[in-house]
Amino acid sequence: MKTLIATVAAACLLASPVWAQEPAPAGKAQPAPAHSHAAPAPQLDAHTQEDIERHRGMARAHEQAAQCLASGSKYDDCQKQLQTACKGLALGKNCGMRHAH
């Protein structure tokens, strides 16, 4: 019985505990761990690449709008900033995002 407990304790100590990793600084995500068995990235056509970049551009514009609102700026000022940043990326005054209010 003591051998079993010692073996389990040793296995727990030698395992790579998730809780031992340092947390990411506020606002910064840790990169995903690289796995040797991960499949290679698929070859994407030009249209798909353009969509990816458009979505990333919209995400940046929305993040800037969120930061603007969080800073206490007026809604209308932040909305104008969003519309300027999204010009040519998405349709509508909300940069492709519908609001419930």
pLDDT value, residue 59? 93
Q: Which one, of 69, 72, 70, 71, lies nearest residue 82 by Cα? A: 69
Decide if 85 contacts 64 (C-beta within 8 A).
Answer: yes
Share of the chain above pLDDT 70, in %: 56
pLDDT value, residue 17? 46
- Stated pTM of the model: 0.54
Share of the chain above pLDDT 90, in %: 35
